[in-house]
Structure 1
């Protein structure tokens, strides 16, 4: 078997596994894909982020189409104010962060990604043990405070989405539920409506980077990983309920933490070697 075929096979399998895990817990799984792109496929950091961003954009677009079957478009349009509120911050955050990432040294980009992965693992662990299903009512009374909080939250979510190449659902869903008091199932669909334009902005910003060429040089790998992700997400969705979500999210939170620590060790060795 050729090297290219082996790589494509790994892309299909890893995409399917990550997609299935994402389908089981209701997330895209891009936070797990990034360490795989860097570790298994040996992509440089910025190239891995851009590749992950393109993957997330494709998967979220597909997911949004399927979600419209469970929640009507009219219902989503009825909460357009939440979408626009968070987008006002996330679009700016994604544009700014992508621009900074292109100018940043790879060592510092690795360090920031490490911190963000650790924070996401802690968010995942907290969501596992502090479920949001019973949340009712927004954090503030509807008004200026909620709008300002939404813009600020959106900005930081946009930053995370741009720097990791993720959709940001693990941050958007709890934000929508806690800040606006939305139902968690509705929040899942609203998060996709926010993620898609946010990722498009970050993706467009990255087109100015030399690292954007990774999508041409690894076109075949990209296609196979997308196929695997879609298949895996479908399988994961069908398996919902077979594995306790709390146990699964706890395990995945720990796995993400370990991946982040391994990235930190690699970064530290690289920075030490350049001194």
Structure 2
């Protein structure tokens, strides 16, 4: 596939995925991954690395747009919690990518399939569950911070292995375990995911995953621009669309697509 066609296709695919992501409060990286594998014929490890770059563009733009209409002062009381989660997630991302480079491509594809199925099931469950929790009553601040670091390890590992921001995991953790309000959790999720992805991208760069500059210019940049546009449109349309129904449909679609793509790859 030539660079011009790749650029056009990247934009065409990236925009609707980001729009749907904006409607349900996600970056859409889970849905980009199958296209990177199948449509653009990237290896599993290369697809994850490129996906993380697009995710970074999406998250940075989402943070910018969100903070324009959000009282950031309410984040201040949660800074210590966020630092603890970020500490765990950056470690998880660092060693997750180290693990990624040690496993065979066949085994990594199986790991990706399991994680994508998990994400799909999580999306479906979120369509039925109304997240409203006071969180867990921790005996002390130290225990709370230890739990936050452990949660961060899980978040960072999933992020590094799929190249995603991980909002589907971060937001439920913040609400159900730490009792964070759902609107605040969405903004905190974006901020928490940013350093995690930067660690992942740095590791991918050291492993020469971005050596082919044409992939950046013809695939990552057009898809990133489309993601910004799509996410902003999705954010506008959110009041008109039933987000719970979308989560159910997209979760089922993610499961179906993942199984189809990975079983085809194995044949």
Whether these two folds match at TM > 0.5 is yes
User: For the Cα contact (< 8 Å) 1:146–1:179, is it kept in 2?
Assistant: no
Deviations 1:69-125 (A, max 9, x none): 222332222210221121121111000001111222111111100000000111101
- The answer to whether the Cα contact below 8 Å between 1:47 and 1:214 also exists between their aligned partners in 2 is no
Asked whether the 8 Å contact 2:210–2:216 carries over to 1, the reply is no
Q: Distance in 1 between matches of 2:230 and 2:139?
A: 39
Q: Say whether 1:130 aligns with 2:129.
A: yes
- Per mean C-alpha deviation after superposition, the further-off stretch among 70-79 and 35-44 is 70-79
Following superposition, the deviation at residue 65 of structure 1 comes to 1.1
What CA deviation, in whole Å up to 9, does each residue of 1:34-70 have, x standing for no partner? 1110011111111111100111111111111111122
Does the CA contact (< 8 Å) of 2:4 and 2:218 recur in 1? Answer: no
CA distance in 1, matches of 2:190, 2:215: 29
Contact 1:138 1:178 in 2 (8 A): yes
Deviation string for 1:194-235 (max 9, x for gaps)?
Answer: 100011011111112133324544422221111111111111
Q: 1:153 aligns with which of 151, 161, 176?
A: 151
Higher mean displacement: 196-205 or 210-219: 210-219
Partners in 2 of 1:264 and 1:142 — Cα distance?
44
Change (3 A) 1:82 1:7: same
Mapped pair 1:257 → 2:255: yes
Map Cα deviations across residues 223-255 of structure 1 (whole Å, 9 max, x no partner): 111111111111111111222111110000001
CA RMSD of aligned residues (A): 1.5
The number of aligned residues is 266
Name the SS of the counterpart of 2:209 in structure 1.
Answer: helix
**Taking structure 1 as the reference length, what is the TM-score of the superposition?**
0.92
Structure 1: runs of 5+ lacking an equivalent: 270-275
* Structure 1 segments of 4+ aligned residues over 6 angstroms from their partners: none
Distance of 2:185 and 2:193 partners within structure 1: 12
Unaligned runs of 5+ in 2: none
| Aligned partner (choices 230, 240, 245) of residue 247 of structure 1 | 245
Paired with 2:260 and 2:53, the residues of 1 have a C-alpha distance of 24
**1:173 counterpart residue number:** 171
Q: Report the alpha carbon displacement of residue 259 of structure 1 after superposing the two structures with TM.
A: 1.7
